[in-house]
Amino acid sequence: MKKLLTIVLAAILLLSCFPAMAEENAENIMFIEDLGVTLNLTDLMKECTNSIFVENDGVIVRDPEVALATIIYYGLPQETLNEIINSYDQASEEEQQMNTQLLRALSSVAAYIIVSNAPDQAAMAEAIGLQAMDGVEVKEAATLNSWHYYLVTIPVDGLLEIYDNPDILDETYTEEMAKADQAAIRTDVDLIHSRLFQQLETGKLVEPVDPSGRLIGQTLEFETTDLDGNTVKSADLFKDNKITMVNLWGTWCSNCINEMAELAQLHIRLQEKGCGIVGLESELKPIETVADTARGIMTANGITYPNVIAPMDNPILAQFDSFPTTLFVDSDGKILTYPIVGAVVSQYEPTIEALLAGESVNISAETGAVANGDNKYCVYVYDTEGNPVEGAFIQFCDDTTCSFQPTNADGLAEFRVDVEKVYEVHVIQAPEGFRQDEGSYKTLETYSDVNIFLDKAE
């Protein structure tokens, strides 16, 4: 195995995307609220030769509702994986490149846990675009009221093929050792599949909870000030509009700023329908230090709708840590539908039109990406005060291949790819002094920016 852990795997064609690692408690017991599933990984992790991690992807479709968690398998022991990740900053450039290729090659999605209220398996598969592929099995493990609990098992053929490469063999790592490692992987994956299915089939399940859904029907009510220090009440902001689009933004948020020119035009159209927009400015620094910047941004983008300081001690607003986030409220401030997370201008007007017509609203989950004209995908990492974070290890994946880059002094990691489509982004390793980010982010289908904010370690 030693040579396998040191060889540069440049000839491997099938490289799997692996999400950020899920954090478990000391007993390795995870409750995933979005799925209503509790996973006990204690014995499974002890019995597996290699590593397993669970990433909660959350609700990915809301009509019908579908939530999933991704089970990631690494073809190397837990201690080896931790050593590679923890030593990345201290490694040489050559070692970093080698370890990047190693992690790309020795990871594979082994399974998905899917919970859905679609009427049957076919409807669930259609809702999320799940297609039949060789070796992929979808098995229903349990039902609870209208909810169906599925385990999707996925073969790890790409991972197994590594051990068929004759270039990894020498007198210290023989064909027999490679075959033994393949057998260990097969045993691990079979064990993962069987144990997870058994836990879903016999374990304690509860109805899934979409955290965003709790907001619907609650009343957004606050008192704050505008940029000039004048007192403003939410009731006065909402009372004259049939529907008010409440847009949380900040001067530090490039995605927020990039959509503002379109919001200015949207506000004009909404006024004709008896609706409007209110901006809630969510700043990381004292407002007096950024007020002039905020005014300049609004003037440059033609903003005429009211903007006030977001009172982040408000129990509803305090729940949001992604920007921009947009809520839709009636004249009394009652929240009417799911929030839209991210700069998703294309969803704003159709959402209001549907609400005015009394129709159901289907808001898809987004992650805050915004288009750019740079012919590349840019990932910006900041701390919670808006300062760039250098040395965050970023993973950028499509269905088969991942790229890796550390952020530079500007907090930027750039990914130049020829194919424009949705890519998945994770922070694989946060630099020293910051907490690990467990989020999963997605780009737009066109070249776009993604902003990620890291909490400082206590």
Question: What gap in Å lies between CA 167 and CA 9, rounded to an integer?
Answer: 10
Alpha carbon distances (Å) from 161 to 14, 75, 105, 157, 360? 9, 12, 10, 6, 48
Is 209 in a helix, a strand, or coil? coil
For position 106, what pLDDT does the model report? 83
Q: Cα–Cα distance between 369 and 365 in angstroms, integer?
A: 11
Model confidence pLDDT, tens digit, residues 244-254: 999 999 888 87
Predicted confidence at residue 89, as pLDDT, reads: 59
Spatial distance between the Cα atoms of 395 and 349, rounded to a whole number of angstroms: 33
Are 59 and 65 in contact, with CB atoms under 8 Å apart? yes
All residues at 6 or more sequence positions from 382 whose CB lies less than 8 Å from its CB, including other chains: 252, 388, 389, 411, 451, 452, 453, 454
Domains and CATH numbers, the chain: 29-202 (no CATH), 211-356 (3.40.30.10), 370-454 (2.60.40.10)
Measured from the Cβ of residue 291, the count of other Cβ atoms closer than 10 Å reads: 18
Instruction: Please state whether 391 falls in left (phi above 0), alpha (psi between -120 and 50) or beta.
Output: left
Name residues whose C-beta falls within 8 Å of residue 153's C-beta, 6 or more positions apart in sequence: 110, 111, 136, 137, 139, 193
Does 211 sit behind a cis peptide bond, omega within 30 degrees of 0 on the bond before it?
no
Q: In terms of Cα–Cα distance, which of 380, 384, 401 is closest to 443? A: 380
CA distance linking residue 392 with residue 436, whole number of Å: 10
Q: Give SS3 for 90.
A: coil
Yes or no: say if 159 and 108 are a contact pair by the CB < 8 Å rule: yes
Residue among 289, 311, 308 nearest 298 (CA):
308
Copy the structure tokens of residue 50.
């290699």
Which residues neighbour 94 within 8 Å (Cβ) at sequence distance 6 or greater?
A: none
Please tell me the predicted confidence (pLDDT) of residue 430: 87
State in Å, rounded, how far the first CA of the chain is from the last one: 37
> How many whole angstroms from its chain centre is CA 302?
32
Alpha carbons 305 and 226: distance in angstroms, whole number: 12
Neighbours of 67 (CB within 10 A): 27
**Six-digit token string for 155:** 């073969």
Q: Which residue ranges in the chain fall short of pLDDT 70?
A: 1-27, 88-89, 104, 321, 362-371, 384-386, 399-401
Give me the pLDDT at residue 365, please: 53
Regarding beta strands 276-281 and 243-249, do their DSSP bridges make them parallel or antiparallel, or are they unpaired? parallel
Helix, strand, coil tally for the chain in percent (to 5)? 30, 30, 45
- Give the C-alpha separation, 359 to 137, whole Å: 36
